[in-house]
Amino acid sequence: MNNYSDIVIAGGGMVGISMALHLGAVLPRQTSICLVEGFALPRDDAGGEHGYHPSFDARSTALSYSSRVIYEQLGVWQDLQAGLCPIERIHVSSRGRFGSTVLRAQDYGWPALGYVAENAWLGQVLVRALYRQRRVRVLSPARVCHATPRGTGVSLQVDGADAGALQTALLLVADGAASGLRRQLGVGVMEKPYGQHALVANVAAAQPHRGCAYERFTGQGPLALLPLLPAPGGDCRGAVVWSLPPERAMQLRDCPEPVFLHALQQRFGYRLGRLLRVGERHCYPLALVRAVEQVRQAVVVMGNAAHALHPVAGQGYNLALRDVAELGAVLAQALAEGRSPGDLATLQSYQRRQQPDQARTIGFSDLLPGLFMRRDPLLGLARDTALAGLDILPALKREFVRHAAGLAASAGRDDG
């Protein structure tokens, strides 16, 4: 195989493919880009090949307004829209308490506060766009199993399709929160386990959601129910993300359907009428994981490999996309000035520019779960007052909404 690419992306999940699309769009045509993915990517081009990919499973992803802007710039938003459910309202409440608030897109002149995409649809559209772009070389199924610094670049050992050695000026590590490549490179992580599992599933309800997302804080953990497009048979559907103690999460994952629906109905209430059916249930442990280093000479750690967040605020994927957009802008400027994409000063500039956004988003996602689970009565009163206060303090509510939409990211950025 051709053993050199200017940029190699290790990991072809939703972040990796979005990064390949973005770099392919903003970098000069002569800049060679290679995407390496261990699973066979699903394909809908002339080959007609379909494969399983773990990023494109039964889960759903909430896309913020900032992510819409990024995908519009990549020219894929129009294709994505057919499978997206707009979030027109967000109802935030605390179970058994008086505090609650409703955030409405129309109050800010926006078409939606965000959008919910089923991962299978999002992945399908991104893969189609990647092959249609014809800008990025794809090695799949293949895996970067070893990376060694060589001069100003990196030497890679690739197993799988066209296996062999590969040289690059810049390696982008995007192989997930449990990144083997990050570990092999000796990049440490700070990990904060939350002592909970996320239970995810799609449910059918008797009443339509009317574009409303629900964030319900309970004594066991936060419960989100995100709006989905109706099923082919017309069922009203929602995506459940339920944070629970590990043993309880696994019990509810494996119990009979009526038992699960009864437990969920008790926690969520009857805002959507009776809950009728549930699809496949999955659970996974929750932890805040942050790479100690995100950049080195010729290496950048991206996506969940750089920072994996609690799903309560739905900001992990949206933050990763903003990282992608900022890295693309920095690399485009560096290449225009004749610098190598792996130049350490260039990569440090990217990290400086994104640090405020990352710190703000990670801090917000880390604060909420503990804040709403602590049983201190004075803290409970303060929480309820704060939620209720959003409705009587428009400026505070507007800032809260801007944060959720990913539009607070530019505030306080250091461009130096």
The pLDDT score that the predictor gives to residue 53 is 62
**In 190-343, where does DSSP find H-type helix?**
246-254, 257-268, 316-336
The pLDDT score that the predictor gives to residue 66 is 87
The pLDDT score that the predictor gives to residue 379 is 37
The pLDDT score that the predictor gives to residue 99 is 52
Compute the mean pLDDT over every residue in the chain, rounded to the nearest whole number: 85
Both structure tokens of 94? 């605390």
Cα angle value 22/25/27 (rounded, 5°):
95
Residues 184-241: tens digit of each pLDDT: 999 999 999 999 999 999 999 999 999 999 988 777 778 999 999 998 777 899 999 9
Residues 271-323: tens digit of each pLDDT: 999 999 999 999 999 999 999 999 999 999 999 999 999 887 788 999 999 99
Domain 4-85+119-190+287-376: homologous superfamily in CATH:
FAD/NAD(P)-binding domain (3.50.50.60)
The pLDDT score that the predictor gives to residue 231 is 81
pTM of the model: 0.87
The pLDDT score that the predictor gives to residue 90 is 86
How is residue 96 annotated by DSSP? T
Q: Is 1 helix (H, G, I), strand (E, B) or coil?
A: coil
Handedness of CA 18, 23, 24, 26 (dihedral sign): positive
The pLDDT score that the predictor gives to residue 391 is 47
The pLDDT score that the predictor gives to residue 107 is 81
Positions in the chain short of pLDDT 50: 46-50, 96-98, 374-393, 396, 409-416
Residue 17 near residue 138, CB atoms below 8 Å: no
The domain limits of the chain are 4-85+119-190+287-376
Helix (H) or strand (E) holding 196: strand 189-205
Residue listed under structure tokens 């009203």: 236
The pLDDT score that the predictor gives to residue 399 is 57
From CA 104, how far away is CA 138, in angstroms rounded? 41
Q: Please provide the DSSP assignment of 247-270 as one string.
A: HHHHHHHHS-HHHHHHHHHHHH-S
